[in-house]
Amino acid sequence: MKFTWLGHSGFRIEIGDQVLLLDPWITGNPMFPEGARAEAIAGATHILLTHGHFDHANDVAAIAKELDIPAVGIFDLVGYLEGKDGIKAVGFNKGGTVALGSVKVTMVNAVHSSTMPSDGGPVSVGSEAGFVLDDGSRRVYVSGDTDVTMDMELVEALHHPEIGVLCAGGHFTMDMKRAAYAAKRFFNFKTVIPCHYKTFPLLAQSAEELRVGLPGVEVIEPAVMSAIEL
């Protein structure tokens, strides 16, 4: 299993027989290196989308068209993009599971918001979500943009994820302290990878507080376009 951070909340996740692009914000992402787009999206099979905000969804239509691959996410959001941009879509909802090749993806709850811009102002495009990815041997919890929520207890009870990809930058999502609390209170992670931080000055610039708060857990601060093999 291989995770490559694209900066902010974007990841290239090579799992099972799939290459999944998670919230691949590339255009205008101050963390993403110029000239690395082709490498980042090469061979991708699906795009996983947690919600509609620009820093997660802005590149989805372009990548989906270029690679002729579907966007996978909550029914309202990917259906909206399918109608507006003519892309392929796999829409489902919270509690549902879809099979992407050998990988099962279950949508779980998150607490945030989900809108996209329009000429008349922001449009609601369903609700925010997280995912559990299961390759048959290990499970990954992707929090999406969220605060700590008691639903995390259910994610652990139903799925027992070993790896957590957790938003932790603060201001728009839970911060490092709250992410550490969530991981310690609800999960038994072996590995945690933080995201949604460093991108802008108002977000956390280091995951040291998360590391300190999770003794015994491997906390990996990702480097952009540097693969983490687990």
pLDDT digits (tens, 9 = 90+) for 45-104: 999 999 999 999 999 999 999 999 999 999 999 999 999 999 999 999 999 999 999 999
What integer is the mean pLDDT of 162-171? Answer: 98
Q: Does 230 map to a domain?
A: no
CATH number at residue 199: 3.60.15.10
What average pLDDT does the chain have? 97
CB of 42 closer than 8 Å to CB of 20: no
- Asked if the structure places residue 36 within a domain, the reply is yes
User: Dihedral of the CA atoms 223, 188, 156, 15 (nearest 10)?
Assistant: 40
- pLDDT score of 118 more than 90: no
Phi, psi of 118 (to 5 degrees): -150, 175
Q: Is residue 229 part of a domain?
A: no
Is it the case that residue 145 has pLDDT exceeding 90? yes
**Contact between 180 and 214 (Cβ < 8 Å):** yes
Work out the pLDDT band at 131, boundaries 50, 70, 90: very high
Res 117 pLDDT > 90: no
**What pLDDT does residue 26 have?**
97
pLDDT score of 36: 98
How many domains are there within the chain? 1
Pick the more confident residue, 125 or 170.
Answer: 170
Across residues 128-147, what is the average pLDDT? Answer: 98
pLDDT at residue 119, as a whole number: 86
Mean per-residue pLDDT, 179-195: 98
Type of residue numbered 8: H
Asked whether residue 74 is assigned to any structural domain, the reply reads yes
Residue 22 lies in a domain: yes
- Statement: residue 21 has pLDDT above 90: yes
Global confidence as pTM: 0.97
Q: Is 141 a member of any domain?
A: yes
- Mean pLDDT in residue range 156-171: 98
Task: State the DSSP code for 102.
Answer: T
Residue 194 has pLDDT above 90, yes or no: yes
Domain that includes residue 55, residue range? 2-224
Q: Is residue 161 part of a domain?
A: yes
- Asked, for residue 35, whether it belongs to a domain, the answer is yes
